[in-house]
Structures are given as C-alpha cells and as structure tokens.
Amino acid sequence: MKIFLDTANLEEIKRGVEWGIVDGVTTNPTLISKEKAPFKERIKEICELVKGPVSAEVTALDWEGMVREAEELAKLDEHVVIKIPLTKDGVRAIKVLSEKGIKTNATLVFSPMQAVLAAKAGATYVSPFIGRVDDVSSDGLKMLEEIAVIFANYAFETEIIAASIRHPMHVVEAALMGVDIVTMPFAVLEKLFKHPLTDIGIERFMKDWEEYRKAIGEVK
C-alpha cells in the first residue's frame, strides 16, 4: 500500500518524508489556497521534497483549457500528475493527455461508473472521495470496494487512490480491500502511529531499565 499526503503544506510534507513512509502527494485548489503561495512554485517545491507522484489540479472547465493547463503543469517536474475532475470535458481531456503520455488523476469521483469512465479514458489514477460520500449519508467505503472489485474484474491498469480520508479506520478498510494508494491529511497520518499500549509499554520499559541500572550500580 502506498501512502500519499493530501496537503500542500511544506512542513507537513517534510515531516512525512523524514519518517520515510510518504510515497507521493495530492493537492487540490482548496489545499493550495490554504497556503497562500504561488501555485506553480509550490508544486515545484513539493516535487523537490517527495520523489514520487505529485498531483496538481487544473481549474479550466473545458477540455481544451484543461489540456492547455495540464501541458504547462506537466513541464514543472517529471513527477507531476494532472488532476482532472470527472466531467464529460474532464474525461475527454484525460483521453487526450493519456495519448500524449501525460499522467492524470481523475478527481471528484463519487461512483463506481465514474471510476470506470476514468479508467477507460486512460487515467493513471482515479480518486474516489470516501469522506464526502459519507458526509451525504451514503457509504463511501462501499463505493470504494465496488470500484476495487470492478477494476479487478477487468484488470484495469488505473491505480485507485482512496481520497477524502477522515480517520484511521478509512485507511484500514481501504488497505483490507487492497486499494493501491491512500491519500490522507497529515493529521490522519499522525494518528496511524498512535496506540496507548505503545506509550504504556515504553514508560514501563524505561522505568524497569532505570531500576536495573541502579541495581547494577551504573547510576545512583
């Protein structure tokens, strides 16, 4: 399972990369807007930190505009992946870009058939938004599972990125389904480390170690 960070914040990316467990980054216009940094510069800075796929999203809504923006963004770094919304124009742009060898990530995917359309157009990645489906009282994980089954049925090469992740159980369930990638906010990544028994265990080991050192006269 690959782990991507869903953020445009350089400090978060640096920390995740230092831990040695971050394989890529996804951004979107909302995440970029939180950073108040020039878009293309920020994408380049992210690419310098993480040697893996970095998704940058187009903002044009027509396919020709999407292709134009994508071609510019793709020049920034070899790791840039173009995020394209799953609309009719988006699917057309994905097809054109895939024929040009430009990697794409179909975003704002909320149903199995939207995912199939992205795969058929040649998307490199497809991003089903789990949390946002849950938000409207539907079942995001069920959607993800259906996509995973359909992609396996037809051996689609498009990789699935479980997106809009809100908590560690989303990550666990996606991993159990064998989903290729999970992209998560830094706060969720941090939570994956935590277990109270680890903290209690360290505390007990440290206490016993100090007592042992006193007992053998290493410290007073």
Q: Which residues are catalytic?
A: 83
Contact 4, 53 (CB under 8 A): yes
Number of residues written out for the chain:
220
| CB 135 to ligand E4P: min, Å | 8
Q: Work out which of 67, 95, 183, 189 binds ligand E4P, going by CB under 6 A.
A: 183
State the burial class of residue 157 (Cβ atoms within 10 Å of its Cβ: 0-12, 13-18, 19+).
exposed
| CB 205 to ligand E4P: min, Å | 37
Q: Which amino acid is at 137?
A: S
CA within 13 Å, CB half, 84: 42
Which residues, numbered 59-98, are part of the site for ligand E4P (CB under 6 A)? none
| CB 104 to ligand E4P: min, Å | 13
Q: Which two tokens stand for residue 28?
A: 């979107």
| CB 106 to ligand E4P: min, Å | 10
- 163 vs 182: CA distance, rounded Å: 6
Q: Interface with ligand E4P includes 127 (CB under 6 A)?
A: yes
- Select 6 or 202, whichever has its Cβ closest to ligand E4P: 6
Q: Interface with ligand E4P includes 163 (CB under 6 A)?
A: yes
Q: Interface with ligand E4P includes 132 (CB under 6 A)?
A: yes
Q: Interface with ligand E4P includes 28 (CB under 6 A)?
A: yes
Q: Work out which of 8, 9, 26, 104 binds ligand E4P, going by CB under 6 A.
A: 26
Q: Which two tokens stand for residue 97?
A: 């870009």
- 137 vs 106: CA distance, rounded Å: 23
Part of the chain binding ligand E4P (CB under 6 A), chosen from 45-53, 70-78, 94-102, 128-136? 128-136
Contact 93, 70 (CB under 8 A): yes
* Crossing angle between the packed helical segments 39-49 and 10-19, to the nearest 10 degrees: 10
Q: Work out which of 131, 150, 180, 186 binds ligand E4P, going by CB under 6 A.
A: 131
Interface residues toward ligand E4P, by CB under 6 A: 6, 26, 28, 107, 127, 129, 131-132, 163-164, 183
